[in-house]
Amino acid sequence: MRSLFVAAMMALITISLPSQAGSVQAGMQGGPAEVLMFTLPGCSYCKSAKELMLKKHIPFREVDLSTDEGMRTAEAMKIPPMAPVFAYKNRVLQGYTEDRLLKFVEN
């Protein structure tokens, strides 16, 4: 039941969140799945993760936790209010290293 809820929320977010710079497939249904990246302004790990995903052409959508909408999205998906956190294919990765993120999106 929880996975169905998360899948529904991710579909809703894909439709309702505005496109960000890193959203390669923004708003396109049927394309590759996007990684949701929960970020905070000034977060150096968030910046490094965005740069890596752009360099590797990994579709992602940024969710800014400093906004009310970003916090509501995180709360609805049970994402902790920390950054960076990544959500992809009903899985969550907290924290960032290049190796962990690349392995996370490969599966």
d(CA 57, CA 74): 24
d(CA 59, CA 104): 13
Number of domains in the chain: 1
Paired strand residues for 39: 64
| Residue 32 confidence (pLDDT) | 56
Whole-Å CA distances, 51 to 13, 58, 96? 22, 10, 12
| Residue 84 confidence (pLDDT) | 97
| Residue 107 confidence (pLDDT) | 81
Peptide bond just before 18 cis, omega within 30 deg: no
Paired strand residues for 88: 91
CATH number at residue 84: 3.40.30.10
| Residue 83 confidence (pLDDT) | 96
Q: What is the pLDDT along the chain (107 residues), one digit of tens a residue?
A: 444 344 444 444 443 443 333 332 233 234 457 999 999 999 999 999 999 999 999 999 999 999 999 999 999 999 998 999 999 999 999 999 999 999 999 98
Residue range(s) defining the domain that contains residue 7? 2-106
